[in-house]
């Protein structure tokens, strides 16, 4: 009994250390974003911009400021209802672009992977095993080996199609890279759902698509939400494709925006930390909203097969 309690305490302590090590970079970045320039360059460096309590006092004196966020937002007077406007490109250009790419790609990947995985899970057809193997092999191809081909495809389409849109091209590329893994994940989840439920729906008059939408998809919702989350975060964190495939800065995403912010404003550590905090907030918020479904999908074996 004492041995098991000791093991549980050791395991809990190890998990606490791992969590602390993982959270420290995030916490230190948030605290750095709230420091002024004087505290950023203070020697010796401190985690908190606080001075010891004054004689006779109990609480330290802390100097948290929004100087870094102001440099990122670049708020200027304007003739509008608020009397202000935001001119920082991270907030006005790069974040909206990434939100468009990540949301569109995640929705399309979730939809297409559900349809494809349903076909693989429920139908037996010639070449099924070869297609499944090809799907996972394509998903294992390194990104860097395709950059030259994708660049040539984008340039050719840009010259050949009058209605060509770089944003649409980027969404298609993201969907292509995220789809193979998503199909395997969703297929493993569909395989755990009894076929009898669909058969009962078909007997009641549902079509195959109707059974998928009304019976299978609700039961597989945790797995579908986990795919949406993984795809959203993967696209949100992309830098390479944004940098190589897009010629216009006005079309690039938030991670590239941090790189451009460093190049345009110089090294200001509190402003750079503020930009990092702003860019990481949306995926963190999406994860917090979908975390329960994500953990359910892991617990029920959605990542099998």
Question: Do 24 and 118 belong to one domain?
Answer: no
Q: What is the pLDDT of residue 300?
A: 58
Residue-number span of the structural domain to which 128 is assigned: 88-299
Examine residue 230 and state whether it is found in any structural domain, yes or no: yes
CA 78 vs. chain centroid, Å, equals 33
Give tens-digit pLDDT for 90-126.
888 999 999 999 999 999 999 999 998 888 888 888 8
- What's the confidence (pLDDT) of residue 302? 41
247 and 199 co-located in one domain: yes
Q: How far apart are CA 147 and CA 238, in angstroms?
A: 13
105 near 234, Cβ under 8 Å? no
β-pair partners for 61: 51
φ and ψ at residue 6, rounded to 5 degrees: -65, -40
Paired tokens of 12 = 């809990």
- The C-alpha atoms of residue 185 and residue 225 are separated, in whole angstroms, by 11
Q: Is there a domain that residue 82 lies in?
A: no
Residues 161 and 102 in one domain: yes
Phi, psi of 61 (to 5 degrees): -95, 115
Which residues partner with 111 through β-bridges? none
| DSSP 8-state assignment for residue 213 | I
Mean pLDDT of 196-218: 82
Looking at the fold, whether 265 and 119 belong to one and the same domain comes out as yes
Q: Are 205 and 76 in contact (CB under 8 A)?
A: no
Same domain flag for 47 and 103: no
Q: Is residue 242 part of a domain?
A: yes
Find where tokens 């790419």 sit. Answer: 101
In a domain, 161, yes or no: yes
Establish if 74 belongs to a structural domain. no
Model confidence at 130, in pLDDT bands (50, 70, 90)? confident
Same domain, 140 and 239: yes
Cα–Cα distance for residue pair 208/115, rounded to 1 Å: 11
- Confidence band for 299, pLDDT divided at 50, 70 and 90: low
Q: Is the dihedral of CA 143, 148, 150, 151 positive or negative?
A: positive
Helix (H) or strand (E) holding 36: none
Res 112: pLDDT: 93
The answer to whether residues 94 and 200 belong to one domain is yes
Provide the β-strand partners of residue 50: 62
Range 189-212 average pLDDT: 82
The pLDDT value given to residue 304 = 46
CATH number at residue 230: 1.10.3720.10
Q: In this predicted model, what pLDDT tens digit does every residue of 149-168 receive, in sequence order?
A: 888 988 898 888 888 888 99
For the chain, the domain total comes to: 2
- Does residue 2 sit within a domain? no
Exposed / middle / buried, residue 176 (Cβ in 10 Å: 0-12, 13-18, 19+): middle
């Amino acid at each position: 009994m004492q041995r098991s309690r000791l093991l549980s305490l050791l395991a809990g302590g190890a998990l606490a250390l791992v969590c602390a090590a993982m959270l420290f970079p995030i916490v230190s970045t948030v605290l750095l974003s709230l420091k002024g320039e004087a505290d950023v360059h203070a020697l010796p460096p401190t985690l908190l911009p606080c001075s010891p309590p004054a004689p006779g006092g109990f609480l330290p004196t802390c100097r948290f400021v929004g100087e870094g966020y102001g440099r990122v937002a670049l708020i200027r007077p304007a003739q509008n209802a608020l009397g202000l406007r935001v001119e920082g490109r991270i907030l006005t250009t790069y974040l909206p672009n990434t939100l468009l790419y990540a949301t569109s790609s995640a929705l399309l990947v979730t939809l297409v992977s559900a349809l494809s995985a349903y076909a693989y899970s429920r139908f037996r057809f010639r070449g099924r095993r070869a297609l499944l193997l090809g799907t996972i092999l394509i998903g294992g191809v390194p990104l860097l080996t395709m950059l030259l081909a994708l660049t040539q495809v984008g340039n050719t389409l840009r010259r050949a199609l009058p209605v060509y849109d770089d944003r649409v091209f980027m969404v298609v590329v993201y969907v292509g890279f995220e789809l193979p893994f998503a199909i395997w994940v969703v297929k493993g989840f569909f395989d755990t759902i009894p076929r009898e439920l669909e058969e009962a729906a078909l007997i009641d008059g549902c079509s195959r698509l109707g059974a998928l939408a009304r019976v299978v998809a609700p039961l597989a919702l945790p797995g579908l939400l986990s795919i949406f989350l993984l795809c959203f975060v993967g696209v949100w964190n992309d830098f390479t494709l944004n940098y190589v495939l897009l010629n216009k800065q006005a079309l690039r995403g938030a991670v590239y925006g941090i790189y451009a912010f460093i190049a345009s404003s110089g090294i200001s550590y509190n402003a750079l930390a503020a930009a990092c905090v702003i860019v990481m907030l949306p995926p963190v918020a999406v994860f917090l909203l979908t975390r329960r479904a994500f953990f359910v999908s892991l617990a029920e074996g959605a990542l099998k097969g």
